[in-house]
Structure 1
Amino acid sequence: MSTSTIEIRRARPQDAQALAEAHDEAWRAAYRGLIPGIELERLINRRGPTWWETAVRRGSRISLIMFGDMVAGYANYGRNRAKSLPYAGEVYELYLKPEFQGLGFGRRLFGHARRDLTGNGLASTVVWALSDNDHATGFYRALGGRAVARSSETFGTQVLDKVAFAWAG
């Protein structure tokens, strides 16, 4: 009987291919039917291995959740980009491959990202999700996130609403 371990670690340049694959699978599952098909393809295709390798080399905070030697998902986080919101840190992205959703991996990865942000002086946290993405909005509410702002984002000719969830420091 073999046992696989679950670990969370910082992404390394050699993880770029696996990150691109996780991004592709997670985005297709999360946004198919929400973001228009041609726009979704464009967004996925611009995040290939070279993009991820560059992001890691430039020091982006990207953490991977590993199941054995497989990348199950990732979180990308740092300073809050929305200066109008009074939160220090932001989780820019948190995605899991579909087969790892609903197993507690996302909760563990989000907790890791928040602890890392707090350890770097960014204790309060915000994250944005598309309002119609019930899976994401339900996930952040279950983690205690409070809806604090609304905005919109344009994908091609379609405007989609998004909501910011926040956690105090």
Structure 2
Amino acid sequence: MSLKITFTPDSRRDIGSGYEKAWEAGRIDLANLSTTDLRYEFFEYPVDFTVDGHAFLSAARPPLIDIMFSLGHSMKSLRTVGAAKIDFTENTYVIQLQLVGDQVQFTSTRRGVPTPHPSCPFDEYVSEARSFITTGVEYLEHHYPALARNPAMSSLRELADI
């Protein structure tokens, strides 16, 4: 397998800094938080994203729900227009994906991406992205059952066809 996308949960960054007091006081209902809040303020876990041994993300801490949505949308975009990007609100870094034949080629806005560009079969990308989303949804809903009632989680399941 030439593609690996994983996350490592740790509870020290489950709740965004602006929500800590409300969380401790029991005023946060994860079932009713907006998708935007969940995508940008919660569950910041180390994520590793490597292709052909090249680390596009190495222990970066993006919000898990945001990266899951980005992966879900990238699968759809690759199918429809043959290109996609994974970007991050907290910085200007972008991972670009291009479908070339049955291969997904990866580049980024950071220097140091080898030539030829790291790539993997499209089916492998879809399988790994779906697995990442499935694992993330299952983990979050197991540890935070109220999330299962949040429409954002249903949207993630639809994006990943799970």
TM-score (norm 1): 0.25
Point out which structure has higher relative CO (alpha carbons under 8 A, 6+ apart).
2
TM-score (norm 2): 0.26
More strand by share: 1
More helix by share: 2
